[in-house]
């Protein structure tokens, strides 16, 4: 029944779509955020939207639809009409849904309106931890396999992937304790319940500045503006360079079948939104790297990210299905 | 010092800010009273609205909504047996029987005063002891959350009514409902049957609205011809003697609320349940037996959940760690307003701390005013003929459930739970333990596994940590004392 209704709605909008494309947008739009309120994706989405609304001249109603690591939002937007009125505000997760056995849908079915920016991972320990460099920590983990505890956010999460990437260049063994997200993981680290955590700079920055935590390395090919003194991971593990840049990313998508002129209007509006001063400040405060790319450039980035990450996870035995089944090439 | 006082009074002296706090509190009461419309939701919607406002205005409004919303849940719990929010579940246990006795007005009056007492305790703790409490909250390990959840789940015994076996069955049903969805540790599907809708889990607010709201509405259809209870609305201001008698309990449960609220893994819902448990264990001579309209059973959760508001702000303002779901959203709002929540927040924007303390205090005073006015009209709601009231409840339940995450599937769940809850009521199975299981089950699940993984899956290490870490030892002893206190052995020893 619902499917029929949706189908009817889609058919109607196709008919209407031809006539209205030039005047897009005629009414308010719906922005579906794939993570909960207050999370990293939510903050980026709500940060960029006011400037985009100004550029488009119509409001965007924001809706958090968390669940199943974003798969529910992806399916929801995919079922909505491809008329550009339903936007998907998402993070990197759908690129892993296939191999994790969650859903067949990934960003391949969507058009990247704008990949706004990416986060950089940083490895943090308690301020008074014994390790002075990341190499010391890894060597300690090699000497005492399994005894050092890492806060993780579950399979496919940032700490998990960073550990898997590192493991492929420097085999070591730590005990990964999963938490509900980066925030709770960092909280546990401050309480001394775990020993270290690879986390997004956005989540850890203020704790590092406040002296609660100490950064050992940034998972990037060069040091970052937020912490110019923290060495990049390639200083100690040059082989990591082949995986970089790697990190979570945030962006806006619409269904691939959306009319081209509607796509173009959205791309223009979101580019303006991403360039707005308020959003630039927000991203800098959160230690994110601005990307502001769309179309083919964004697709290339997405494909590369997916290929690197899924194969590393697969080789580490963390996937349910092989990337090969989805035609994802080895990097 | 003078500067501190000025910051504290900012919201009191600026008419614009004063209006924000007052309007927020007023709106919060009504948002909180409608099941499904939560404070978290209201605050996250407001973030888009208040984007261009000065950050102080936004924070003042949010503080008002937070305080009002946590209290508002009590109204629908008392009047209709439908908790407006999970933190008001425990309020319904004794609040609704009071309304059925015709004491709804008095119950709301007492709940208001004691909410304000609890709320002010939370603010006081925030103002005086924030850094200490925040440090303590960090030290609470996964196994301690497991112990807290276990202490909470023992409440099944109190809520079971006539048959403990039926209570345990209901609790286990709740735990099972809470388990549906992706495993939070491994992202493995549990009871999902490959369905994407099930992967997102069943929102516990849908279960709450179904088992309380819809089940109650259906159950009342059995007595349609029954005259509605006439409400006595003579004295709405609670008697000073009653308040004085209940005050010590209110202060004790307020303290529970502050601590549970400040812990990053727990919020007002668990605080209220634990406070109810505490009241049931410590009050020997309640005004009526618990579950049949004891004012003690009303005061304990209400003081605790409002105290948890101040508690939740403690780690947020001092460390940038959210104490609950609402403060998590507030942290996001601060980022969008260009601030950087974290340990340095109080250094970079020094006025923020005392400004928040000031607006929270103000919001509690507004709550006292708004909470004690309009009770008369509210209590009329109960006197409304059932033929009008019940369809209204059903519509509100559906709207509220849909509002959780705009997912029509949740409405089906809610209706299904409503029908199940109806038959449970008919066959004398208690429904409250179901909600207890839904709230505490997942917490026990992840805490246990987190603790076990931390002990590297070694049961001996795992067990020894319960006695070697001071906080864990305290909680373990407390848990054992509760269990042993209920055994025949103990009563025999005491009898001797």
Domain boundaries, chain B: 2-143+203-419
The dihedral built from the CA positions of residue A201, A207, A208 and A210, taken in this order, carries a sign that is: positive
Nearest-CB residue to A210 (from B138, B181, B344): B344
The dihedral built from the CA positions of residue B20, B22, B26 and B29, taken in this order, carries a sign that is: positive
- Which pair of structure tokens corresponds to residue A239? 């082989």
Distance between CA atoms of residues A203 and A215, nearest Å: 12
Residue B141: its chain A contacts at CB < 8 A?
A: 188, 191, 193
Task: Find, in chain A, the residue whose alpha carbon is nearest to that of B194.
Answer: A102
Q: Please tell me the predicted confidence (pLDDT) of residue A10.
A: 47
CA-based nearest distance B171→chain A, Å: 24
Task: Find, in chain B, the residue whose alpha carbon is nearest to that of A100.
Answer: B187
On the question of pLDDT at A323 being above 70, the answer is: yes
Interface contact A50-B335, CB threshold 8 A: no
Q: Which residues of A74-101 are buried (b: 16+ CB within 10 A; e: fewer)?
A: bbbbbebbbbbbbbbbbbbbbbbbbbbe
Domains of chain A and any CATH numbers? 2-118+248-326 (3.40.190.150), 121-243 (3.40.190.10)
User: A213 - beta bridge partners?
Assistant: A126
Q: Please tell me the predicted confidence (pLDDT) of residue B333.
A: 83
Interface contact A46-B187, CB threshold 8 A: no
Q: Please tell me the predicted confidence (pLDDT) of residue A161.
A: 87
Task: Show Cβ contacts of residue B171 under 8 Å, excluding neighbours closer than 6 positions.
Answer: B153, B156, B433, B434, B436, B437
Q: Please tell me the predicted confidence (pLDDT) of residue B418.
A: 94
For chains A and B, CB pairs below 8 A equal 152
Task: Find, in chain B, the residue whose alpha carbon is nearest to that of A41.
Answer: B332
Whether B189 and B182 have beta carbons less than 8 Å apart is answered as: yes
pLDDT in tens, chain B (496 residues): 778 888 888 888 889 899 999 999 999 998 888 877 788 878 877 776 777 788 889 999 999 999 999 999 999 899 888 888 888 999 999 999 998 888 888 899 899 999 999 999 999 999 999 888 888 888 889 999 999 999 888 888 878 778 889 999 999 999 999 999 878 777 777 888 877 777 778 888 889 889 988 998 898 888 777 777 777 766 666 777 888 889 999 999 999 999 999 998 788 889 999 999 899 888 888 888 888 889 999 999 999 999 999 999 999 998 888 888 888 888 888 887 878 888 888 888 888 899 999 999 999 999 999 988 878 777 777 778 888 888 888 888 888 888 777 778 889 999 999 999 999 999 999 888 998 999 899 889 989 999 999 998 889 989 998 989 899 999 999 899 888 877 777 667 766 5
Q: Please tell me the predicted confidence (pLDDT) of residue A22.
A: 65
Q: Please tell me the predicted confidence (pLDDT) of residue B413.
A: 92
- Which pair of structure tokens corresponds to residue A30? 């719906």
Residue A63: its chain B contacts at CB < 8 A?
A: 406
**ipTM for the complex shown:** 0.84
Task: Find, in chain B, the residue whose alpha carbon is nearest to that of A97.
Answer: B187
Interfacial A residues in 196-235 facing B (CB < 8 Å): 205-207, 209-212
Which spans in B36-100 are helix H? Answer: 39-49, 55-80, 89-100
């Amino acid at each position: 029944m619902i499917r029929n209704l949706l189908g009817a709605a889609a058919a109607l909008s196709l008919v209407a779509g031809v006539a209205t494309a030039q005047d897009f947008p005629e009414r308010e739009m719906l922005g579906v955020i794939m993570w909960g309120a207050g999370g990293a994706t939510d903050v980026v989405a709500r940060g960029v939207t006011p400037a985009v609304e100004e550029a488009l001249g119509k409001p965007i109603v924001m809706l958090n639809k968390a669940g199943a690591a974003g798969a529910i939002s992806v399916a929801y937007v995919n079922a909505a009409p491809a008329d550009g009125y339903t936007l998907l505000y998402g993070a990197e997760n759908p690129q892993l849904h296939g191999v994790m056995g969650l859903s067949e849908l990934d960003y391949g079915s969507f058009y990247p309106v704008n990949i706004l920016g990416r986060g950089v991972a940083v490895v943090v320990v308690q301020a008074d931890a014994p390790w002075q460099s990341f190499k010391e920590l890894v060597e300690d983990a090699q000497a005492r396999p399994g005894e050092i505890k890492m806060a993780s956010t579950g399979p496919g999460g940032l700490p998990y992937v960073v550990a898997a990437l590192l493991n492929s260049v420097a085999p070591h063994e730590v005990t990964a304790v999963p938490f509900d997200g980066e925030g709770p993981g960092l909280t546990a680290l401050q309480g001394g319940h775990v020993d270290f955590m690879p986390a997004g700079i956005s989540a850890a920055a203020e704790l590092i500045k406040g002296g609660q935590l100490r950064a050992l390395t940034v998972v990037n090919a060069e040091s970052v503006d937020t912490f110019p003194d923290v060495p990049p991971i390639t200083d100690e593990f040059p082989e990591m360079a082949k995986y970089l840049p790697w990190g979570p990313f945030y962006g806006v998508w619409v269904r691939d079948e959306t009319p081209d002129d509607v796509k173009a209007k959205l791309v223009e509006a979101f580019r303006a939104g991403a360039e707005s001063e308020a959003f630039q400040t927000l991203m800098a405060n959160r230690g994110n790297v601005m990307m502001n790319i769309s179309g083919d450039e964004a697709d290339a980035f997405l494909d590369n990210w997916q290929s690197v990450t899924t194969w590393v996870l697969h080789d580490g035995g963390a996937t349910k299905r092989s990337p090969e089944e989805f035609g994802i090439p080895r990097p | 010092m003078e500067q501190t006082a000025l910051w504290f009074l900012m919201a009191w002296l600026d008419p614009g800010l004063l209006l924000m706090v007052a309007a927020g509190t007023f709106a919060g009461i009504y948002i909180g009273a409608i099941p499904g419309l939560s404070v978290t939701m209201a605050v996250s919607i407001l973030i888009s609205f208040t984007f261009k406002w000065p950050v102080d205005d936004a924070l003042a409004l949010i503080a008002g909504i937070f305080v009002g919303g946590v209290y508002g849940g009590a109204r629908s719990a008392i009047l209709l047996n439908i908790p407006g929010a999970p933190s008001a579940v425990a309020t319904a246990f004794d609040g609704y029987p009071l309304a059925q006795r015709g004491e709804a007005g008095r119950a709301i009056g007492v709940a208001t005063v004691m909410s304000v007492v609890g709320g002010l305790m939370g603010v006081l703790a925030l103002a005086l002891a924030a850094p200490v409490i925040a440090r303590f909250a960090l030290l609470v390990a996964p196994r301690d959350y497991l112990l807290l959840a276990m202490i909470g789940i023992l409440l099944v015994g109190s809520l079971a009514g006539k048959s403990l076996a039926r209570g345990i069955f209901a609790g286990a049903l709740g735990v099972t409902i809470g388990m549906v969805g992706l495993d939070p540790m491994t992202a493995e599907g549990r009871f999902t049957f490959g369905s994407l809708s099930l992967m997102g889990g069943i929102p516990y607010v849908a279960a709450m609205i179904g088992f309380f709201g819809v089940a109650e509405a259906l159950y009342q259809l059995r007595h349609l011809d029954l005259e509605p209870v006439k409400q006595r609305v003579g004295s709405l201001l609670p008697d000073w003697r009653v308040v004085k008698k209940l005050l010590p309990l209110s202060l004790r449960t307020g303290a529970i609320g502050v601590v549970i609220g400040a812990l990053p893994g727990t919020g007002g819902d668990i605080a209220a349940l634990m406070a109810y448990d505490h009241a049931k264990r410590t009050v020997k001579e309640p005004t009526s037996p618990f579950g049949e309209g004891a004012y003690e059973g009303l005061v304990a959760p209400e003081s605790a959940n409002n105290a948890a508001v101040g508690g939740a702000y403690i780690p947020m303002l001092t460390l940038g760690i959210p104490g609950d779901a609402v403060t998590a959203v507030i942290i996001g709002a601060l980022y969008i307003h260009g601030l950087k929540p974290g340990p340095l927040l109080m250094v970079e924007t020094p006025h923020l701390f005392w400004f928040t303390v000031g607006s929270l205090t103000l919001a509690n005073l507004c709550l006292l005013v708004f909470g004690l006015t309009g009770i008369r009209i509210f209590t009329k709601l109960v006197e409304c003929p059932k033929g009008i009231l019940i369809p209204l409840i059903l519509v509100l339940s559906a709207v509220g459930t849909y509002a959780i995450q705009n997912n029509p599937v949740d409405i089906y769940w809610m209706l299904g739970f409503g029908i199940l809850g109806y038959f449970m009521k008919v066959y004398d199975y208690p429904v409250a333990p179901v909600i207890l299981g839904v709230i505490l089950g997942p917490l026990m699940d992840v805490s246990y596994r987190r603790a076990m993984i931390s002990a590297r899956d070694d049961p001996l290490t795992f067990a020894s940590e319960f006695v070697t870490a001071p906080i864990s030892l305290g909680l373990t002893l407390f848990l054992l004392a509760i269990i042993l206190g209920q055994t025949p052995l103990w009563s025999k020893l005491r009898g001797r």
